[in-house]
Structure 1
Amino acid sequence: MVTPVKGRVSSKFGYRIHPITKEKKSFHNGVDISAPEGTPIVAPVAGKITEFWTHDRGGHCLALTSADGLLRFGFAHLSKRFVSRGAVVKQGELIANVGNTGVSTGAHLHFTMKKNGSWIDPQLHFSF
């Protein structure tokens, strides 16, 4: 696997006080990686773009499922997407740019990872 974007982790996986809503014990299902708007995001693994959506909190989003079907990666707050739904991508291929869409404190990538349908901490597998 390759790191999808280099930057500073501004919010870790797990329970936290939400930085905007101030909700206590809010479960953060991924990591937030601060990076300048427009920073390239690459596919961490070879796979297929399985979903595209826009969410009130997450802004412009996409999902990538690994070629073996075991891992699902989510990418949120995107400024631009360079792939279409159903596209097959190579590891390291440009898929999007960091943005500040949705409910956000600034430009960053919200990056999630699921294995067999369960959330896992991306920091156990990537160095940002």
Structure 2
Amino acid sequence: MAGHKASGRRRSTAPVEYSRPRAAATAGRRRAQPAPSPVAAAARDVGHKTAIVAAASGMVLTVMLPTTAGATADGPQEAVATSSISAATEARLTFERAGLTSKFDPDTKLKQVMVASGGKAKAIGSEGSLSQPMDELIKTSPFGYRVSPITGYAGELHTGQDYGAPCGTPVAAAAGGTVVEAGFQVGGGGNRIVVDHGNGLETTYNHLSTIDTAVGAAVARGEVLGESGTTGASTGCHLHFEVMVNGKLVDPTGWL
């Protein structure tokens, strides 16, 4: 154009980047990095250990490390940990587990049942808390109403469970306790032993041929008390076994 003098320089078309000057107080200072979370640290350690094991064994190993899915800045992080391991068919995997040991104490269980129930234990909660009074239990006449084999009365309540056994078969305490009765019962039980197990629970052993304990004796679970017989109101050699809860007779089969 007329009147315009060319300068000989070309104008740059690239955008100019604007740089905001730093304040003197923050110049050279780097932003502090947050400390890694426990989950992230654990994931990092697991990852390192997994890589070492895989490299040493040659296994085909796939590991999904813990994540913090759903974590927010304001709320707690929820760790979601899953793992998947695959190995070649010929590979041998060995895992070590910490040794755990436990000892079942039936007398402790029995005490817990009675205390927790307040003396109103039901058969479903007490099953297995008493040990069987003889090595082999052959059920004959069950607990409940029946026709009396002695009197022929049809409405008799049979107050225990009968187990057929030859006379002289050892009879043992169904649980630890104290003998509170040991002698001949005029009411029909014959030679009879009663053991108090505490917390309102008692067991009785009837029609015995011999009594090998005495009132006041402390007996252990499984300790022989006497031998089966046919004394008292009995029609043959057997054991009449009873369970009483707070003085009330209940079906013994729910306790063995």
Between the aligned partners of 1:18 and 1:53, the Cα distance in structure 2 is 24
Q: Does 1:122 align with 2:237?
A: no
Give the structure 2 partner of residue 64 of structure 1.
195
| Aligned-partner SS, 1:62 | strand
Give the structure 1 partner of residue 220 of structure 2.
90
Between the aligned partners of 2:199 and 2:180, the Cα distance in structure 1 is 11
Give the structure 1 partner of residue 242 of structure 2.
112
Q: 1:81-127 CA distances to partner (integer Å, 9 max, x unpaired)?
A: 1111100000111111001111211100111101122111001112x
Cα RMSD (Å): 1.1
The CA deviation at 1:54 is 1.4
1:81 corresponds, among 205, 211, 218, to 211
Q: Does 1:3 align with 2:142?
A: no
Q: Note the residue ranges of structure 1 that are not aligned, 5 or more in a row.
A: none
Between the aligned partners of 1:116 and 1:102, the Cα distance in structure 2 is 25
Between the aligned partners of 2:181 and 2:166, the Cα distance in structure 1 is 24
Between the aligned partners of 1:97 and 1:26, the Cα distance in structure 2 is 26
One-letter amino acid of the structure 1 residue matched with residue 222 of structure 2: G
Give the structure 1 partner of residue 167 of structure 2.
37
One-letter amino acid of the structure 2 residue matched with residue 21 of structure 1: T
| Aligned-partner SS, 1:11 | coil
One-letter amino acid of the structure 2 residue matched with residue 95 of structure 1: L
Between the aligned partners of 2:246 and 2:189, the Cα distance in structure 1 is 23
**2:182·2:211 contact (CA, 8 Å) conserved in 1?**
no
Between the aligned partners of 2:148 and 2:177, the Cα distance in structure 1 is 32
Between the aligned partners of 1:108 and 1:34, the Cα distance in structure 2 is 4
Q: Does 1:27 align with 2:157?
A: yes
1:101 corresponds, among 231, 238, 244, to 231
Between the aligned partners of 1:92 and 1:123, the Cα distance in structure 2 is 17
One-letter amino acid of the structure 1 residue matched with residue 192 of structure 2: C
Query: Number of residues paired by the alignment?
Result: 125
| Aligned-partner SS, 1:123 | helix
Between the aligned partners of 1:8 and 1:21, the Cα distance in structure 2 is 24
Q: Note the residue ranges of structure 2 that are not aligned, 5 or more in a row.
A: 1-129
- TM-score of the aligned structures, taking structure 1 as reference length: 0.92
Moved more, 74-83 or 1-10: 1-10
Higher strand share: 1
- TM-score of the aligned structures, taking structure 2 as reference length: 0.47
Structure 1 stretches of 4+ moved >6 Å: none
